[in-house]
Amino acid sequence: MAALEKRSGLEWQELDKEHYLHPFTDYKELHEKKSRIITRADGVYIYDADGRKILDGMSGLWCVNAGYGRDELVDAAADQMRELPYYNSFFQCAHPPSIELARILQEVTPPHMNRVFFTGSGSESNDTIVRMVRRYWDLMDQPERHTIISRVNAYHGSTVAAASLGGMKSMHKQGGLPIPGIVHVDQPYWFDSDKSVSPDEFGLLAARSLEDKINELGANKVAAFIAEPIQGAGGVIMPPDTYWPEVQRICDEYGVLLISDEVITGFGRLGEWFGADYFGTHPDFMPFAKGVTSGYLPLGGVMISDRVAETLIDKGGEFHHGYTYSGHPASCAVAIANIKILQDEKLIERVKSDIGPYLQAGWKKLAEHPLVGEARMVGLMGALEIVADKNSLERFEEKQGVGTICRDFLVDNGLVMRAVGDTIVTAPPFVLSHEEADELVAIAWKCLDLTQAALQ
Ligand SMILES: *Cc1c(COP(=O)(O)O)cnc(C)c1O
């Protein structure tokens, strides 16, 4: 604590307003409301400067999967920092924590993935992939395979390339995105469709929008397809069962590399190690970040299939790409300790067959609320669709901001969940107890009531 001044919540808020531009923030709006200062956390709870205890139904930003207050992770970082706080992996150097983590990652990822490229974040991982994919096709003597296909409403990060891969219109509007060579096809969001076909039919149609785009561009121009197994920031969008098998078929048929963005779904969120395991896909790239360290230190990376890695190694010469913090020793030490927690405490099995099903049962009951059109959850990743009419599933008008109204009630009542339009999403830590799951569902129901009352 030594380095930090003691200040009141109000003082922090004032300083924050004067000097700190936050990510994804409307600064004027924030300055009118003042920011919430989070000072400490333990287990699944965060505490603000006023001492209020809040259940963290978002695991920070989908990352604190092992929960807060983990001395094993703190000690791993401190021990590593005393031994070797930093060294790079440029210039033919390496250090034990990054090598050991690479070995462990190879064990927990699918058998055809045996090599990793380390980065500092999910965005950097996806930037790395854009360069690696194009490098791969150059080396395969197919340099015209240049275009990467993504999906509308995808989230792949916020750097120039990652935001281009993403399909968020609001992001593309700022800064002249997407960069050339990136195009977007449909998302498998049945609830948002006109619902004129069944979910299974809809899943096939969404997958075939990829096939149509490949045919339109010419398969010999298409390098890769990138997608989140379940879209996170877009609103926890679960594709119908038909979607992923059809996408895999299309990628195989046209020789298009598949990128499974595992930044949220990796390291157990769905009750399997990776989303690719859950959906049975076999990607060439798996970018990861967030849950690899449970967010205790920043770390990202890309798992790479043998066929791509061996091409880069055998034919590539120098790959002109890398980051100062690629394979940062303290971050890697924390990741090793975090993976050990997942294994020793069987937390992924817990998501699959204990707390996952338990919270899902409570969550699905929320579908009985008059404001809820759908309640869905896989593993510990869920969403509620707020609707104006439960029978027609018609939504409220966007300008009413009903999702935001509900989100504000939630936070005021001691539960952090996020609003994506009128979709309320949750992704609690894997260590959530049954009592805490009950608390989460009870607060959610209460705040749906409060939202309904506020609308009258
Ligand atoms: C958060 C996220 C990213 C970006 O990760 P950062 O560490 O914020 O750069 C990329 N892809 C997905 C699916 C994400 O959820």
Mutate to test the pocket of ligand 1, among 121, 151, 187, 325 (most ligand atoms within 8 A of CB): 121
Pocket of ligand 1 (CB under 6 A): 121-123, 155-157, 228, 232-233, 261, 263-264, 289, 300
What is the number of the ligand 1 atom nearest to the C-alpha of 298? 7
For the cut 80, the answer to whether the pLDDT of residue 295 exceeds it is yes
For the cut 80, the answer to whether the pLDDT of residue 365 exceeds it is yes
Confidence of residue 3 (pLDDT cuts 50, 70, 90): confident
* Cα 365 to ligand 1 centre (Å): 30
* Cα 36 to ligand 1 centre (Å): 23
260-285 pLDDT, tens digit per residue, is: 999 999 999 999 999 999 999 999 99
Mutate to test the pocket of ligand 1, among 58, 150, 155, 171 (most ligand atoms within 8 A of CB): 155
| pLDDT above 70 coverage of the chain, percent | 100
* Cα 349 to ligand 1 centre (Å): 24
* Cα 263 to ligand 1 centre (Å): 6
Q: Where are the domains of the chain?
A: 36-69+354-455, 72-344
* pLDDT for the residue 380: 98
Structure tokens at 426: 């949750």
* pLDDT for the residue 395: 96
Atom 6 in ligand 1: residue holding the nearest Cα:
122
What is the number of the ligand 1 atom nearest to the C-alpha of 120? 7
User: Taking residues 142-156, what's their average pLDDT?
Assistant: 98
* Cα 156 to ligand 1 centre (Å): 5
Burial class (CB in 10 A: 0-12, 13-18, 19+), 82: exposed
| Distance of alpha carbon 263 from alpha carbon 286, whole angstroms | 8
Mutate to test the pocket of ligand 1, among 237, 262, 264 (most ligand atoms within 8 A of CB): 264
* Cα 275 to ligand 1 centre (Å): 15
- Provide CATH code, domain 72-344: 3.40.640.10
* Cα 3 to ligand 1 centre (Å): 30
* Cα 108 to ligand 1 centre (Å): 20
For the cut 60, the answer to whether the pLDDT of residue 305 exceeds it is yes
Confidence of residue 2 (pLDDT cuts 50, 70, 90): low
Q: Which residue has the higher pLDDT, 1 or 121?
A: 121
User: Taking residues 200-215, what's their average pLDDT?
Assistant: 98
175-189 pLDDT, tens digit per residue, is: 999 999 999 999 999
* pLDDT for the residue 101: 98
Mutate to test the pocket of ligand 1, among 61, 123, 129 (most ligand atoms within 8 A of CB): 123
What is the number of the ligand 1 atom nearest to the C-alpha of 158? 9
Q: What are phi and psi of 218, to 5 degrees?
A: 95, 125
| Distance of alpha carbon 195 from alpha carbon 201, whole angstroms | 10
What is the number of the ligand 1 atom nearest to the C-alpha of 261? 13
* pLDDT for the residue 386: 98
* pLDDT for the residue 4: 87
* Cα 287 to ligand 1 centre (Å): 9
What is the number of the ligand 1 atom nearest to the C-alpha of 289? 7
For the cut 70, the answer to whether the pLDDT of residue 1 exceeds it is no
- Cβ neighbours around 437 below 10 Å, total: 22
85-130 pLDDT, tens digit per residue, is: 999 999 999 999 999 999 999 999 999 999 999 999 999 999 999 9
* pLDDT for the residue 239: 98
Query: Starting from the edge strand earliest in sequence, which strands make up the sheet with 38-42, in order?
Result: 38-42, 45-48, 53-56, 415-416
* Cα 46 to ligand 1 centre (Å): 22
Atom 5 in ligand 1: residue holding the nearest Cα:
122
CATH class belonging to 36-69+354-455:
alpha beta
